[in-house]
Amino acid sequence: MKARIELGALLSASVLGIWVPAEAQTMRQSAAPTAAEQQEADWRVIAARCGTPAFEKGFYKESRAAVAAGLVNKNRPPADVEKSVEALRRSPFVLVASNADCPNQLAQLKELQKTRKGMARPGRTQRP
């Protein structure tokens, strides 16, 4: 249905002699936040809710580095992705219902950090 509306808009614009660049059509679609951006925002909130202040600060720094490296969304500029992630932050009580859930959540975040550390430095060996 959406394609039919866009096709109709393009045909109407061509009949009227209005030129619509292709980039304008794709920019509308790419401006929508992705599930990966929402997940990144959720992880930041979980780190703040469950972790210590030092853990939260470290996770936030690594999260921003992952966004800047294009690990969250490769199709958009990192500055736009960072703005989107900041805007998508939800209430911590929605994501983590009780403090009993925190150990599992923190374990997932630590595993994510290990995975990203390996992705950020390919070719380097880490000392044990």
pLDDT at 120 (0 to 100)? 59
Write down the domain spans for the chain. Answer: 1-26, 31-120
DSSP assignment string, 51-82: S-HHHHHHHHHHHHHHHHHTSS-TTS-HHHHH
Between these two residues, 19 and 108, which has the higher pLDDT value?
108
Max avg pLDDT among 9-23, 70-84, 111-125? 70-84
pLDDT in tens, 53-107: 999 999 999 999 999 999 999 889 999 999 999 999 888 888 888 889 999 999 9
Cut 0.85: pTM above it: no
Binned at pLDDT 50, 70 and 90, residue 46 comes out as: very high
Structure tokens at 4: 């039919």
